Amino acid sequence: MQWPNIFKREKREQQFGSMPYVGDVIGSFYSLLGRYTRSGQTVTTNSAMSIASVHRSIEVIANGIATMSLNLYQDTDKGLAKIKNNYLTNLLKTPNQYQTGFDFWVYTMTQLKSRGNSYSIIKRDASFNPTALHPVTASFVRPYFSNGELFYQIEDPAWSGVYASYDILHFRGLCTDDPINGKSPISLHAESLGIDLAAMSSSADVYKNGVLKFLLTSDRKIEDATGLRTSLDDVVNGGSRSTVLPQGVKMERMSLSPQEAMYIEQRKFSVEEISRIFGVPLSVLNAGNSGTDVELEMQQFYAQTLQPEAERIEQELSRKLLKETDKNTFEFKFVFNSLMRASAKSRADYYNAGIRGGWLTRNEARNMEDLQKFETGDQMLVTADLLTADKLDEYMTAKIDALEAQATKNNNITGNNNNTQS
């Protein structure tokens, strides 16, 4: 294991100018040792991930981003056009030789939500076009300013060196102390997570050492105290069904059950707290719901949790991967339609509204369902009772003329309607 190099300040200052030193030490040692909390538990990324609701919250967010389609679009006179054959679209599908696009975004989001920052090195060809994205563990990276420019010091043995900001994709979480270092949710809420870890540890000790503990007391000397203790242990551990206490010996229970120690209630409260920390609904964590409609909870999850993460990624990709000449006409965008695949009814309602409303073609709807196009499917459809306001007078006049013509035909002065009378 290579320890982060936090002591070469003098050499780095000679190369890149003055850099903060205290932050180096604190950040590096926290990543190694974690944070000691008042509950007596040391909270690290790995220990926090052992809490089921933390693991599930981060996994849900990471998978949610990874399952959405990430596309490159060009702004044209007819609106946004999806770019299919381009070196950047290929890069999104296969960022490197050892990860798929899905794996890359799951790792990226896991780093971001657990450590507060996520970094990837951008490899480029001779034409400065991006060719690969290599993720780096956040604990090995330290961003800093030198002479007004942002650099990244990487201590990962595979990618050791100093990188300019345009060669690093940096997705940062909530920033409080400075604008370039995101705060880890696990670090910010270490005290709350430490309480949950303490409850887990205490509950485990109860079951490990026996659910119940007893104290034997007597006003006289107990003969064969060792044998009596062994006999009682056999009963508590299930080895015997009963035992006999000598005269004058009293037995008092010392330990509390998990229910009496409030471990279960504490764990339930911790799930609710973790749900708030990561912005994941309780229903997604399989921990009941908050009393609101589940569909409404999911809409809030998409809008308040996934949408900001998607926007953060889109802007960073556009800033670092696009050439300066392309930034005004090209952009990266996530397609949230892929999140609707789990609900056939939601998809059907969405397509029906779009096709009948005249803003979605039938072929576009079929393309979202991975179905083949058909010849007339690109024609826009509208319902018959919808028309533009400037055509209303013309439409009403035509309707009146048609009704008058029909009335004249069916009610002529001879009384011979539709020539049915002889």
pLDDT, tens digit (0-9, with 9 covering 90-100), for 316-326: 999 999 999 99
d(CA 277, CA 275): 6
Segment 400-410 mean pLDDT = 79
Q: Which residue from 126, 155, 152, 123 is spatially nearest to 139, judged by alpha carbons?
A: 155
Q: Please report, rounded to a whole number, the percentage of residues in the chain having pLDDT higher than 70.
A: 74
pLDDT of residue 213: 65
By the 8 A CB rule, do 398 and 387 touch?
Answer: no
Taking only Cα atoms into account, the Rg of the chain, rounded to an integer number of angstroms, comes to 34
In a domain, 368, yes or no: no
Confidence of residue 350 (pLDDT cuts 50, 70, 90): confident
| 420 band by pLDDT with thresholds 50, 70 and 90 | low
Stretch among 61-70, 185-194, 244-253, 344-353 having the lowest mean pLDDT = 244-253
- 245 in a domain, yes or no? no
At residue 14, the pLDDT reads 40
The model's pTM is 0.70
Tell whether the model's pLDDT for residue 220 goes beyond 80: no
- For the cut 90, the answer to whether the pLDDT of residue 294 exceeds it is no
How many domains are there within the chain? Answer: 1
Across 24-44, b (16+ Cβ under 10 Å) vs e yields beebbebbeebbebebebebb
Please give the average per-residue pLDDT across 79-92, as a whole number: 88
Flag whether 411 is in a domain: yes
Question: Which segment of 139-153, 154-168, 208-222, 223-237 scores lowest on mean pLDDT?
Answer: 208-222
**Cα torsion angle, 108, 111, 113, 119, sign:** negative
Task: Say how many CA atoms lie within 13 Å of 402 toward its Cβ.
Answer: 6
359 in a structural domain: no
* Assigned domain for 395 exists: yes
Beta bridge partners of 149: 146
Choice between 179 and 345, residue whose per-residue pLDDT is larger: 179
Q: Are 109 and 89 in contact (CB under 8 A)?
A: no
Q: What's the pLDDT score for residue 239?
A: 65
* Mean pLDDT of the 193-203 span: 78
Q: Give me the pLDDT at residue 98, please.
A: 96
Residue 179 is assigned to a structural domain of this protein: no
Per the structure, the complete domain to which residue 405 belongs is given by 389-419
Average pLDDT over residues 251-277: 69
Is a pLDDT exceeding 50 seen at residue 6?
Answer: no
The predicted-structure confidence for 63-84, as pLDDT tens digits, reads as follows 999 999 899 999 888 778 888 8
pLDDT for the residue 157:
92
Residue 4 pLDDT > 50: no
pLDDT range class, residue 9, cuts 50, 70, 90: very low
pLDDT greater than 80 at residue 238: no
Considering the chain, what is the average pLDDT of its residues?
A: 80
The reply to whether 404 falls in a domain is yes
Sequence-distant (6+) residues with CB within 8 A of 415 are: 421
* The pLDDT of residue 335 is above 80: yes
pLDDT digits (tens, 9 = 90+) for 363-403: 888 877 767 888 888 888 767 666 666 676 787 888 888 88
Where is mean pLDDT largest: 209-213, 241-245, 257-261, 332-336? 332-336
Classified as helix, coil or strand, 343 is coil
Please write the tens of the pLDDT for every residue from 108-137: 999 999 999 999 999 999 999 999 999 999
Residue 4, domain member (yes or no): no
For the chain, percent of residues with pLDDT exceeding 90: 37
